[in-house]
Amino acid sequence: MSPMFRTTSAFLLLAGCASAGSSFEARRLAVISDDSRVIVPVSFSRDGRRAAYVEQRDDGCRMVHGSHVGKPYGILC
Amino acid sequence: MNGRQSIAVEEKEYSPYGPDWTITWPLIFSAEGSVVASRLSSEKTSRGCIGVDGRRGEEFDRVGPPVLSRDGSHVAYRAHEGDRCFVVIDGRRGPPCDFMSDPAISADGKVVAYGARRQGKWSLVVGGDERPIDHQPTFVFLSADGRSVGFGVEDGSRVQVVVNGRIGESFTLVGRPVFSPDGKIAAYAADQDKTQYIVIGGTKVEVAGRESDPVFSPDGTQVGYGARIGREIWWKVLAVP
């Protein structure tokens, strides 16, 4: 498939997300909403403070990262 | 967007390599997150190369996934030309071999390790040192300082991790091992059929919902990993035995 006809890809940028002096402890990071489906493995920051994932809804796929919800794409990988 | 392939970082998109080159998953980040690298393939020539932050490297018949030093200033990868393969470190080719594993790189980029087969014999290449080994390493990993090295070996459907010459328990599946900050022990995700474990040194701990490879805490006393339990996403922590 030509790259010209590929839909936009996106990735989860959690590399380097570390907080100075952060404690390394167990914590619940997110709850996936009932009306969405997670379509790729969840990514975690190295300090365990953040998680990001791609959720699929009827209108497309979005990256979810904490309280941030990205814009919808046709396909994310 | 508009039918083009692009990389999206947060909400910014860019297509750094032009329409002739396709970015191949996965994207590889430096530990600091400031540099991104990936394999590229040309649909015109079917050849491949490595792209780092928008710059294309030398083209080869095929390339393996790149590894980056902590700050992303050094890159290494496996490359194939004809029936030979070799490691490429910062653009320089290593000695040719018949087969090789993907390389690992130390945090400062000064040590690169990989498994190589020449004249029918496998060896573990660590920096300028080359040690004979009995098995084909399916992957190689290094401590941050490059002094400790480990690798995986497969026997049929079983996988074992060898750390500093000591072979571990066999599993049906093993993730990507990581060394503790002092390089003395390694931790990795492993499955025994449907049972999931985190292996820390010589101890395996049964876990549930594991979704990531483990990482050591900065002081090396704990191991963390991501888990998905139902619709909840968790960071779980285990004490190093």
The residue to which tokens 């992303």 are assigned: B72
Q: How far is CA B85 from CA A37, B78, B103, B157, B160, in A?
A: 41, 7, 12, 26, 25
Return the percent helix, strand and coil in chain A, to nearest 5.
Answer: 5, 30, 65
Interval B159-201: pLDDT, tens:
999 998 899 999 999 999 999 999 999 999 999 999 999 999 9
d(CA A60, CA A57): 5
Segment B102-125 mean pLDDT: 97
> What phi, psi does B116 have (nearest 5°)?
-135, 140
Residue B210 in this model has a pLDDT that exceeds 50: yes
ipTM for the whole complex: 0.77
Interval A27-77: pLDDT, tens:
999 999 888 888 778 889 889 999 999 888 888 888 898 888 888 887 665
Residue A4 in this model has a pLDDT that exceeds 90: no
Q: What pLDDT, on the 0 to 100 scale, is given for residue A35? A: 85
The number of helices, as runs of H, and strands, as runs of E, in chain B is 0, 28
Q: Spell out which residues of chain A touch residue B53, defining contact as CB-CB under 8 Å.
A: none
Residue B41 touches partner A, C-beta closer than 8 Å:
no
Q: What percent of chain B has pLDDT over 70?
A: 94
Q: Do residues B106 and B127 make contact, with C-beta atoms less than 8 angstroms apart?
A: no
Chain A and chain B share a number of CB contacts under 8 A equal to 120
Burial class (CB in 10 A: 0-12, 13-18, 19+), B209: middle
Q: Do A7 and B3 touch (CB under 8 A)?
A: yes
Residue B229 touches partner A, C-beta closer than 8 Å:
no
> Which one, of A55, A18, A26, lies nearest residue A40 by Cα?
A55
Which is more confidently placed, B115 or B28? B115
Q: What pLDDT, on the 0 to 100 scale, is given for residue B18? A: 77
Q: What pLDDT, on the 0 to 100 scale, is given for residue B9? A: 60
